[in-house]
Structure 1
Amino acid sequence: MNYIELKLTVNPEFADIFMAELGEIGFETFTEESYGLNAYVTEDLFSEEAVDEIMERYLAMTPISYSYSTLEKKNWNEEWEKSYEPISVNGLVRVRASFHEPDDQHRFDIVINPKMSFGTGHHETTSMVLGIQGSQLADEHQGKKVLDVGCGTGILAIMAAKLGASYVSAFDIEEWAAENSRENVELNHCEGVVVRQGTIDDEPADLYDIVLANINRNILMRDIPKYVTFMLPKAYLVVSGFYEHDIADIEQVANEAGLKKTFFDTKNNWASVVFERE
Structure 2
Amino acid sequence: MNWKELSIEIGAESFEAVANILNELGSNGVVFEECGDRVKITAYYNNDENFPGLLETLKKRINDLPAYALNAGETLITVQERKDEDWTSNWHKFFKPLEIGEKFIIAPSWESLADEEKKIIRIDPGMAFGIGSHESTRLCIELMEKHLGAGWEEKRMLDIGTGTGILAIVAAYLGIKDITAVDIDPLAVEAARENIRINQVEGQVEVLQGDMTKNLNGKFSIITANLIHDLIIKLLPTLAPFLEEDPIIILSGIIMKKRDLVLEKAYELGYKLIDEQVLNDWVALVIGK
The question of a shared fold, defined as TM-score above 0.5 by the shorter chain, is answered with yes
Structure 1 residue identity aligned to 2:244: L
Corresponding residue SS for 2:244: strand
Change (3 A) 1:40 1:250: farther
Within-5 A mapping of 1:81-160: 81-98=92-109, 99-106=111-118, 108-139=119-150, 141-160=152-171
Change (3 A) 1:88 1:27: same
Deviation at 1:23, TM superposition (A): 4.7
Corresponding residue SS for 2:157: strand
Within-5 A mapping of 1:51-66: 51-53=58-60, 63-66=74-77
Deviation at 1:76, TM superposition (A): 4.8
| RMSD (CA atoms) | 3.5
Q: Which moved more, 1:215-224 or 1:43-52?
A: 43-52
Matched, 1:186 2:197: yes
- Cα deviation, 1:190-215, whole Å, max 9, x if unaligned, reads 12210122212534221101010011
Structure 2 counterpart of 1:48 = 55
CA contact 1:154–1:182 (8 Å) conserved in 2: yes
Listed as ranges, the gaps of 5+ residues in structure 1 are none
Q: Which moved more, 1:15-24 or 1:199-208?
A: 15-24
- Cα deviation, 1:117-146, whole Å, max 9, x if unaligned, reads 231111111111111111222235311100
Task: Give the TM-score normalised by the residue count of structure 2.
Answer: 0.79
Number of aligned residue pairs: give it.
Answer: 271
- Partner Cα distance (1:182, 1:97) in 2: 16
Deviation at 1:95, TM superposition (A): 1.5
Structure 1 residue identity aligned to 2:122: V
Deviation at 1:158, TM superposition (A): 0.7
Deviation at 1:8, TM superposition (A): 2.8
- Cα deviation, 1:52-99, whole Å, max 9, x if unaligned, reads 4456789xx964432346889986554222342211123321211232
Q: Which moved more, 1:39-48 or 1:166-175?
A: 39-48
- Partner Cα distance (2:264, 2:218) in 1: 25
Structure 1 residue identity aligned to 2:41: N
Structure 1 residue identity aligned to 2:223: V
CA contact 1:20–1:218 (8 Å) conserved in 2: no
Corresponding residue SS for 1:189: coil
- Partner Cα distance (2:99, 2:240) in 1: 31
CA contact 2:129–2:188 (8 Å) conserved in 1: no
- Partner Cα distance (1:119, 1:22) in 2: 11
CA contact 1:76–1:115 (8 Å) conserved in 2: no
Deviation at 1:274, TM superposition (A): 0.4
- Percent identity, aligned pairs only? 24
Within-5 A mapping of 1:1-278: 6-10=6-10, 12=11, 15-16=13-14, 19=17, 23=21, 26=24, 33-34=34-35, 35-38=38-41, 47-53=54-60, 63-68=74-79, 76-98=87-109, 99-106=111-118, 108-139=119-150, 141-190=152-201, 191-276=203-288, 278=289
- Partner Cα distance (2:227, 2:177) in 1: 24
Task: Give the TM-score normalised by the residue count of structure 1.
Answer: 0.82
With a CA cutoff of 8 Å and minimum separation of 6, indicate the structure with the bigger relative contact order.
2
- Partner Cα distance (1:17, 1:93) in 2: 25
- Partner Cα distance (1:189, 1:21) in 2: 28
CA contact 1:141–1:160 (8 Å) conserved in 2: no
- Partner Cα distance (1:187, 1:181) in 2: 10
- Partner Cα distance (1:135, 1:266) in 2: 14
Change (3 A) 1:222 1:21: farther
Deviation at 1:16, TM superposition (A): 2.8
Structure 2 residue identity aligned to 1:248: D
Corresponding residue SS for 1:238: strand
Listed as ranges, the gaps of 5+ residues in structure 2 are 66-71
Q: Which moved more, 1:150-159 or 1:109-118?
A: 109-118
CA contact 1:150–1:172 (8 Å) conserved in 2: yes
CA contact 2:184–2:212 (8 Å) conserved in 1: no
- Partner Cα distance (1:196, 1:109) in 2: 24
Corresponding residue SS for 1:229: helix
